[in-house]
A = this chain, B = another copy of it.
Amino acid sequence: MSGEKAGRGSDAALAAELAVADTIGRLMHFWGFKRPMGRLWTVLYLSPVPLSAGELGDRLKMSAGGVSMALNELEQWGAVVRTWQPGRRRDYFQAESNIWKMVRRVLRDRELTLVREFRATLQNAEASLAEVPATDPRSGGDQDQELSYKRERLRRLAELAATGESLLAALVAGRAIDPSTINDESGS
């Protein structure tokens, strides 16, 4: 039952490790990454020595292809480092262990981008609404009222997005953030 290739540790310990890997996998997945990335990172994080793709695939019951793809993506995010022992033929991997550093990177390279794209969409929309002529024939001015309402709402969304971007930027820069500066609400 033990004595397998890289099958160290007691069964209970092994199972516990996998449970943690799965939980972190779910967490990562929830955060927009692929589940296997979280599982791989966890096994590496818990291992005192670098592991090869083969060992990782064995422990996590993943195909070689899956391991390769996930490790590459982890590497791109700086969550894993590829090393290799001269002489040995295969690559070895280690987990980046500064988690906050990784989080910041994701906030910077992914979330911040998302918010910026959102702001761009809002600006387009504001521009479109600004171009709408004004007062239609004798429809009662309802149109105008509706339009200005929408403009106001878009402005508000834009404000909020701008605030969100600053908050994110602050986090990325390691500065403190104060949610009480969020100026929301208006008059539903």
Contact = CB atoms under 8 A, between A and B. Distances in A.
B125 A16 contact: yes
A118 B177 CA distance: 25
A76 interface: no
A176 B178 contact: yes
A143 interface: yes
Contacts of A85: none
Query: Copies per complex?
Result: 2
Contacts of A98: 184-185, 188
Main secondary structure on A side of the interface with B: helix
Interface residues of A, number: 65
A133 B131 CA distance: 75
Contacts of A153: 45-46
Given A16-B125, A124-B19, A128-B15, A154 B100 contact: no
A135 interface: no
A9 interface: yes
A122 to B, nearest CB: 7
Contact of A188 (B15, B24, B94): B94
Contacts of A23: 117-118, 121
Contacts of A45: 153, 157
Interface in A155-188: 156-157, 160, 171, 174-180, 182, 184-188
B100 A46 contact: no
Interface stretch (A53-61, A67-75, A144-152): A144-152
A182 B15 CA distance: 29
A16 B121 CA distance: 9
A41 to B, nearest CB: 11
7 contacts: A13-B128, A27-B114, A30-B32, A94-B188, A98-B185, A99-B184, A174-B180
